[in-house]
């Protein structure tokens, strides 16, 4: 399928239908143990906790920030079964200017096992993979110098 949206170079106007042009993407992950996941993203990866969300005096979610991205972690309420697989066929890919090897070492020092060690990829980045405590797959990469 091809994108039929084009720009009239004489006027600068977009023809219809316009293509989708997002400005950001935020993720919301449902987790089994909210406190454990907050600690992992904060202490292993380095996110900061922007806000905890309470319902009836109990923390049910947390907004985390890392650079210009945000992740919402929400406590699974068990309505669909606590043993269901989370994140199957899905991964979050983070791009950073930070040293990938240092980040991988930080995550390993926290006790996590990387799915793949940092390596140079043919498309010009250095990347590694890790799985969070709930099975969500994460890819971290930075441009090679």
What architecture does CATH give domain 27-77+86-143? Roll (3.10)
Q: What is the pLDDT of residues 7-18, one digit of tens each?
A: 666 666 766 777
- pLDDT for 3 equals 47
For the chain, what are the domain ranges?
27-77+86-143
Confidence of residue 145 (pLDDT cuts 50, 70, 90): confident
Residue 19, SS3? coil
> How many other C-beta atoms can be found within 10 angstroms of the C-beta atom of residue 56?
5
Query: Rounded CA gap, 37 and 74, in Å?
Result: 9
Q: What is the pLDDT of residues 72-121, one digit of tens each?
A: 999 998 888 777 777 777 899 999 999 999 999 999 999 999 999 999 99
Which pTM does this prediction carry?
0.81
- Cα 10 → chain centroid: 40
């Amino acid at each position: 399928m091809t994108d039929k949206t084009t720009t009239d170079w004489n006027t600068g106007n977009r023809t219809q239908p316009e293509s989708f042009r997002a400005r950001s993407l935020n993720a919301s992950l449902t987790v089994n143990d909210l406190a454990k996941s907050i600690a992992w993203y904060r202490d292993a990866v380095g996110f900061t906790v922007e806000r905890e969300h309470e319902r009836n005096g109990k923390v049910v979610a947390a907004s985390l920030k890392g650079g210009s991205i945000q992740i919402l972690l929400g406590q699974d309420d068990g309505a669909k079964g606590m043993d269901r697989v989370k994140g199957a066929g899905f991964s979050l890919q983070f791009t950073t200017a930070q040293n990938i090897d240092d980040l991988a070492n930080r995550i390993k020092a926290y006790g996590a096992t990387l799915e793949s060690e940092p390596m140079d990829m043919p498309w010009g980045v250095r990347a590694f993979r890790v799985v969070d405590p709930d099975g969500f797959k994460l890819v971290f990469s930075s441009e090679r110098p």
